[in-house]
Amino acid sequence: MIAISEQEPMHRSTSADVSAPTDAPVDALYPVILDSIHEGVFTVDEQYRITSFNREAERISGYARADAIGRRCYEVFRASICQNGCAIRRTLETGKPLRDVRIDILDASMKTVPVSVSTAVLKDRSGRLRGAVELLRDITDVEQLRRDLERKPVGNIIGASPAIRDLFRMLPDIAGCDATVLVEGPSGTGKELVARAIHDLSPRRDRPFVRVNCAALPDSLLESELFGHVRGAFTDAHRDRPGRFVQADGGTILLDEIGDVSPAFQLKLLRVLQEGEVQPLGSTETLTPDVRVIAATNRDLAAMVRAGTFREDLYYRIRVVPLTLPPLRERRDDIPLLMAHFVRRYAAKTGKPIQAFTPDAARALIAYDFPGNIRELENLVERAFVLCRDTHIGVEHLPDEVVRASEPRPVASEPAAAPPSVTMPEDPDDAAIVRALETHRWRRAAAAKALGMGRNTLWRHMKRLGLMGANGG
C-alpha cells in the first residue's frame, strides 16, 4: 500500500497536466504517481469526505477532481453497497482492508459501471487514524467478455454444463493475469483447448503460443528443446538453436503432460520458473524471456507429491491457478452439443449430407461413459461419417461397445419375446441369420456371437431383411 501523508489533501489541482520537479520531495511526487496508474484512487477522512481523487477516478466516476473533493464518497459514486455494506465504512469500523470486492456504481451520467474495489485505513506518522483509501478497477470489459462467453463457446470449447459455465466465467479473469495455471483432467477432456483459450483471451494473444509435450522426450532432449543450445554443445549441435521458452517470448508456453517429467528434470524446471531465466546448453549466458506458463497433466499430481514422485515445491509453483476438467461422463449435458459440433465439422470436411444422429443413436451416445472423453466422441463421429450413406447417423454406424453399454440387460426370468412368424428367406446366408435369431430367442448379442459377426453387422442385416419391427428393435 502506498503511504500517503494526510497533513494536507493529497491533490487539489484540476489541471490535466500533473508534474513535479525531479528534485521534489517524495510526498510531492505522490499526485504524479497516482495520476499515472490505471486504477482509480481516492481517499476520505473519518466523515467519508473525499480528500483526494486521481485521474482514473475522474474517468470512472465522470466527476472532475474539483467537484469530487469535499463531497462524501457516496454522493459521488452511488455504489450498490453504499446503503448496506459500504466497503470504506467496513474498513474504518474494523481497521481491516478489503480486497477485490465486486460492486456496481452509477457515474455522473447515471450509467452503471462494474468495478472491483479494495480498501485500507490511512494513518498519519504518529499512528492516528486519518481516514481510508479506496482503489477502483473498472471491469466493464471483463464483464462484457464474461457475458459473451456465456452466450458462445471459446475457441473449440463446447458445453453448457455447470462445470463448463463455471470455466467460462473464470476464463476472463485468468486470461487477464500472468499467474501460472495448472490444468488437470483425464486424457481427451480438452486441456490444450483451455490453454489456447486463455492465451487467445489474454493481452499476449498476438504473440506465440508454444506447446511442448514433456512426455515425448527424454531429459537430455527435453532440456535442449525447452532451453535451447549453442553450437558445439553436443555432437549434433551444428548451430545455435533457441529453446521453446525463447520462442514463446512475449507469449504463452504450454508444458503438456508435466506429470511425466523425471524428478531430476523437475528441479531444473523449478529453477527456471522461480528465476525466470533459461540457460541454453553449452552457454554461460542466461536469457530472460517474458513467458506466461500453463502446465497440463492427466495425472493426479497431489497423489504423486504424497508418493514422493513429484516435487512439492514445483507442484505449488505451477498450481497458482488450478483448473480441473471433469470427464465427459460427468458432464453428459454437453454430449448433444459436442455431437452436433462434430457433425457440422465433418459434414463440411467430407461434403456428406449428414445432418444429425437418429434418436436411438443419440440416446446410445448420451448413455455411454466415454473412457476416452471428448477425443473418443470425435473419433466415433468421424468413424460414423465413413460408414453412413444416409442423412442421419444410426445405431448401426456406432461401435459395438457403445450400443452394448447403452442397452438394458434382459431379465433372465423374462426371456425376450419371439416375433410373429417370419418367412424363411431363400438365400442361405439370410436363412442362417433368421435361424440363429430364432435359436437364441431373438437376442441379438447371442445370435451375432453364434454367427461369428459383430452386433452392428447383424443389426444391418436385420434391417435389410425387415426384421427390426418384428422383434421391437
pLDDT digits (tens, 9 = 90+) for 356-393: 999 889 889 988 999 999 999 999 999 999 999 989 99
Given a contact cutoff of 8 angstroms between Cβ atoms, the answer to whether 254 and 211 are in contact is: yes
Tracing cell 508444458 back to the chain, one arrives at: 255
Class of domain 330-406: mainly alpha
pLDDT band at 11 (very low <50, low <70, confident <90, very high): very low
pLDDT of residue 241: 82
Report CA dihedral (400, 404, 407, 411) to the nearest 10 degrees. 140
* Residue scoring higher pLDDT (354 or 149): 354
DSSP bridge pairs for 134: 42, 119
Contact 168, 150 (CB under 8 A): yes
Amino acid found at 464: R
Q: Name the pLDDT band for 429 (thresholds 50, 70, 90).
A: confident
pLDDT of 250 strictly over 50: yes
Q: Is 20 helix (H, G, I), strand (E, B) or coil?
A: coil
Q: What is the pLDDT of residue 28?
A: 59
Domain 26-138 architecture: 2-Layer Sandwich (3.30)
User: Between vectors from CA 39 to CA 34 and to CA 42, what angle results, nearest 5°?
Assistant: 60
Check: CB of residue 456 under 8 Å from CB of residue 450.
no
Which has the closest alpha carbon to 342: 365, 364, 371, 323? 365
- Which burial class, exposed, middle or buried, applies to 28 when counting CB atoms under 10 A from its CB (0-12, 13-18, 19+)? exposed
From CA 334, how far away is CA 164, in angstroms rounded?
A: 9
pTM metric for this prediction: 0.58
Burial label, 348 (beta-carbon count in 10 A; 0-12, 13-18, 19+): exposed
Q: Helix or strand or coil: residue 411?
A: coil
Q: Is the model's pLDDT at 164 over the cut of 90?
A: no
Output 400 or 470, whichever has higher pLDDT. Answer: 400
Burial 426-453 (b: 16+ CB within 10 A, else e): eeeeeeebbebbeebebebbebbeebeb
Mean pLDDT value across residues 58-77 = 91
Percent of the chain whose pLDDT exceeds 90: 42
Distance between CA 277 and CA 272 in Å, rounded? 5
Q: What is the Cα–Cα distance from 464 to 157, expressed in whole angstroms?
A: 39
Which residue carries 465504512 as its cell?
89
CATH fold of the domain at 145-324: Rossmann fold (3.40.50)
Spatial CA neighbour of 184 closest among 195, 175, 174 = 195
CATH 3.40.50 corresponds to the domain 415-473: no
**CA-to-CA distance for 415 and 421, rounded, in angstroms?**
17
For residue 289, pLDDT over 90 is answered with: yes
Highest mean pLDDT among 7-21, 127-141, 309-323, 451-465: 309-323
The H or E element that residue 346 is part of is: helix 335-350
pLDDT single digits (tens) 290-343: 999 999 999 999 999 999 999 999 999 999 999 999 999 999 888 988 998 899
The domain ranges of the chain are 26-138, 145-324, 330-406, 415-473
Range with the poorest average pLDDT among 59-68, 401-410, 450-459: 401-410
Reported as a pLDDT band with limits 50, 70 and 90, residue 347 is very high
- Residue 52 has φ and ψ, to the nearest 5°, of -155, 155
- Rounded Cα distance between 232 and 240, Å, is 8
Q: What is the pLDDT of residue 153?
A: 56
Q: What is the mean pLDDT of the chain?
A: 82
**pLDDT tens per residue, range 84-140:** 678 888 888 888 898 888 888 888 888 888 888 899 999 888 888 889 999 998 888
Q: What is the tens place of the pLDDT at every residue in 195-225?
A: 999 999 999 999 999 999 998 888 878 888 8
The total of other beta-carbon atoms located within 10 Å of residue 144's CB is 12
Neighbouring CB atoms inside 10 A of 157's CB total 19
473 has a pLDDT exceeding 50: no
> What value does the mean pLDDT take over residues 231-243?
71
Higher pLDDT among residues 204 and 431, named by residue: 204
In what side-by-side order are the strands of the sheet with 98-106? 50-53, 40-44, 129-138, 112-123, 98-106
Q: How confident is the model at residue 428 (pLDDT cuts 50, 70, 90)?
A: confident
Q: What is the pLDDT of residue 147?
A: 62
**Strand 112-123 and strand 129-138: pairing?**
antiparallel
Tell me how far CA of residue 104 lies from CA of 109, 112, 113, 176, 282, in angstroms: 14, 6, 6, 20, 56
Selected residue with higher pLDDT from 442 and 155: 442
